[in-house]
Amino acid sequence: MKRVGLAFLIAPFPAALIQSIVVALWSKEGMGVFEHPASMFVAICLLFYLVELVLALPLYFKLRKRLPRRMSTYGLAGTFLVILPIIAGLGVSVGEGDCLPTRSCTI
């Protein structure tokens, strides 16, 4: 159980670190959290902790009881959880009439 707790705590660090580096290199003046790398790191970590609590933790408990403990099972579940918000965001964008990169748009 210690490994699960440790994984929960450090899982957002790679994504938050990459986003912080991007903000450090290309900061946007006057945009609040988007101009300070440290605050972006904290914001991304908090966002990922929220997603972990709402989506990943219940899925972990469900997988733990039903399926054998294999890295591939947790890897597929994690991939699904990462892709889910992207698909939702694309659905909202298409629903509002925004353009997709594969389609030409007329303004």
For 51-96, the pLDDT digits (tens) are 888 888 888 888 878 777 777 777 777 777 777 777 777 777 776 6
> Which of 77-81's residues contact partners 24+ apart within 8 Å by CB, and which partners?
81/51, 81/55, 81/56
pTM recorded for the entire structure? 0.61
Nearest to 41 by CA among 17, 11, 10: 17
Quick one: pLDDT band at residue 100, thresholds 50, 70, 90? low
Tell me the mean pLDDT in the region 27-35. Answer: 67
Q: Cα separation of 79 and 7, whole Å? A: 16
Higher pLDDT, 34 or 57: 57
Q: Can you say whether residue 46 is alpha, beta or left, with left for phi > 0 and alpha for psi between -120 and 50 degrees?
A: alpha
